[in-house]
Amino acid sequence: MGFGDLKSPTGLQVLSDYLADKSYIEGYMPSQADMAVFEAVSSPPPADLCHALHWYNHVKSYEKEKARLPGVKKALGKYGPANVEDTAESGATDSKEDDDMDLFGSDEEEESEEVKRLREERLAQYESKKARKQTVVTKSSILLDVKPWDDETDMAKLEECVRSIQADSLVWGSSKLVLVGYGIKKLQIQCVVEDDKVGTDMLEEQITAFDAYVQSMDVAAFNKI
C-alpha cells in the first residue's frame, strides 16, 4: 500500500490516478491524511497531472489550519492504493516512527482527544446550521468560456483538467470547441451549481490554476434555475 516515491514522476502519476475519482486521500473532507501526503509531495505536481495538481492546490489552502484538521497522521505507506509498494524510506521511517511513538505517545493521545472534540463541535454546528437553513436551494446554470494560450494547446487535456475540478453541488455538463480566430479554439462548457456552495470566483481561481493550458476564463452566460 502507498504511492511510492512522491518526489518522482512515477509516484506523482500514481497519486493523480488515485485522485481521479476522489477529492481527498481519505473520506469526504480535508484531514491529516491529506497533510501527510501533501508534505511528502513538497512541490506542485506538473500541469498534465491535473487531478494531483487540483488536490495539491486545494489542500495547500488549509496549511495554516492543518493542526485542526481531523484524524491522526499515519506512516505515508498507510495511504494510497493497495497494489503499490511503499518505497518511501520504509526502514528508516518505521524506526523513527517507533521512537516518536515512545517519546510522544501521550501527546498524540491528547491530540486525538482534541481532534475528536473539534470534530464533534463542527458536526454540531453543521447540524444546527442545517436545521436553520430549511429553505429552497437556489441553483444556477453557468456557461464558461475557457481560452487556451494558442492553437497548439491540447484542448482535450485542457477539458480534462477543467472537469477534474470537483465540489459539492458542482455538476459539469455539455461542452464544445468554438473557433476564436487564427486557428485558436476556446472551450465552452456548461455547469450547474448551488449558489450558496459554488461561485464563479472559485471556478475561475481553480480553472486558471492549470496555467500550462489555460490563459483565461470568462462567464459567457449565467441563468438562475
In angstroms, rounded to a whole number, what is the distance separating the alpha carbons of residues 203 and 74?
32
pLDDT in tens, 17-50: 989 888 898 888 889 998 999 999 988 999 899 9
pTM: 0.51
Q: Where are the beta strands (DSSP E) in 16-152?
A: 139-148
State the pLDDT at residue 89: 46
Cell of 16: 493523480
Residue ranges of domains in the chain, CATH in brackets? 9-78 (no CATH), 139-224 (3.30.70.60)
Side chain identity, residue 4: G
Please report, for the chain, how many H helices and E strands are present, in that order: 6, 4
pLDDT(90) > 70: no
State the pLDDT at residue 28: 84
CB 85 within 8 A of CB 4: yes
CB 175 within 8 A of CB 189: yes
Closest CA to 16 of 80, 111, 107, 90: 80
Task: Indicate the range of 10-14, 50-54, 111-115, 160-164 predicted with least confidence.
Answer: 111-115
pLDDT in tens, 208-224: 999 999 999 999 999 99
Where does the pLDDT of residue 95 fall: very low under 50, low under 70, confident under 90, or very high at 90 and above? very low
